[in-house]
Amino acid sequence: MKSLAKKPDFAMVMASAVHDMKNSLSMLLHSLETIVEELPPEMRGSGKMATLQYEAERVNNDLIQLLGIYRLQDQSLGVHVEEHYVSDFLDEQVVRYELLFNARNIDMQVDCDRDLVGYFDRDLIAGILNNTLTNAARYTQDKIALRAFERDGWLVIEIDDNGRGYPKAMLDAPGEIQKGIDFDTGSTSLGLYFASQVAYLHQQAGKQGFIELENGGEWGGGVFRIALP
């Protein structure tokens, strides 16, 4: 029996479980879309549908972060920086949450020059934006803005809302997990930790990407900013 007692490789088990869960999520989200289409129009904006979609997206974000953070520690998280059309990229992220934004009467604005190109790892940055958007959807009153622009050779992407803003501890040390993970708000600080690590992995000519948090912006709410060299 000794030879059978081989420990399973955790990375392999996790990768294949994540793979499987993502297939399930695909089916789940697609079924949801189909159901919404079959509903009479007055029921389409139902909050329950939006909640279903919101929670499924959150599970997806968690899966991305889970695998990502494991691989950060394993130092095997490679970034694949390629050229992307930023406005197309932002539109694709936002469209995932259309149902949710409509159901919660959130006004979502995207502001980006059509010709703006950026150099980044599409999947990793998409993971960060999705996580930030789901959080913004949770904390905003009724407005979210997603904008991207170039400043001094940096690609800057900002997400603004008109909620209450970030708690002070988070503003002081964005992306740091200081006293372990607070399980009440755990997901948020883990998300920011992941975001700051991914930003840092984007390097160019001696410069490293970074994230910033502030309260204020156009509407006085929270502002999440990621800058990539």
Q: Is 106 in the site for another protein (CB under 8 A)?
A: no
How far is Cα 76 from Cα 130, in angstroms, rounded to an integer?
22
Q: Measure CA 214 to chain center.
A: 18
* Site of tokens 């622009």: 149
> Which residue type sits at 30?
H
Q: Which is nearer to another protein, 92 or 142 (CB)?
A: 92
Contacts of 25 (CB under 8 A, 6+ apart): 56, 59, 60, 63
Smallest CA-to-CA distance from 135 within 97, 83, 84 is with 97
CB of 67 to another protein, least distance (A): 5
Q: Is 111 in the site for another protein (CB under 8 A)?
A: no
Positions 113 through 142 that interact with another protein (CB under 8 A): 114-117, 119, 122-124, 126-127
Q: Which is nearer to another protein, 88 or 142 (CB)?
A: 88
Smallest CA-to-CA distance from 33 within 42, 43, 44, 41 is with 44
Q: Is 227 in the site for another protein (CB under 8 A)?
A: no
- The strand pairing partners of 210, in sequence order, are 227
Number of residues that bind another protein (CB under 8 A): 45
Q: Is 33 in the site for another protein (CB under 8 A)?
A: yes
Q: Which is nearer to another protein, 80 or 168 (CB)?
A: 80
Q: Which is nearer to another protein, 20 or 172 (CB)?
A: 20
Q: What is the DSSP letter of 4?
A: G
Q: Is 91 in the site for another protein (CB under 8 A)?
A: yes
Among 13, 17, 27, 35, binds another protein (CB under 8 A): 27
CA distances in angstroms from 63 to 51, 60, 74, 80, 151, listed in the order given: 18, 5, 16, 19, 32
Name the site residues for another protein (rule: CB under 8 A).
15, 18-19, 22-23, 25-30, 33-34, 56, 60, 63-64, 67-68, 71, 76-78, 80-81, 83, 85, 88, 91-92, 95-96, 98, 114-117, 119, 122-124, 126-127, 204-205
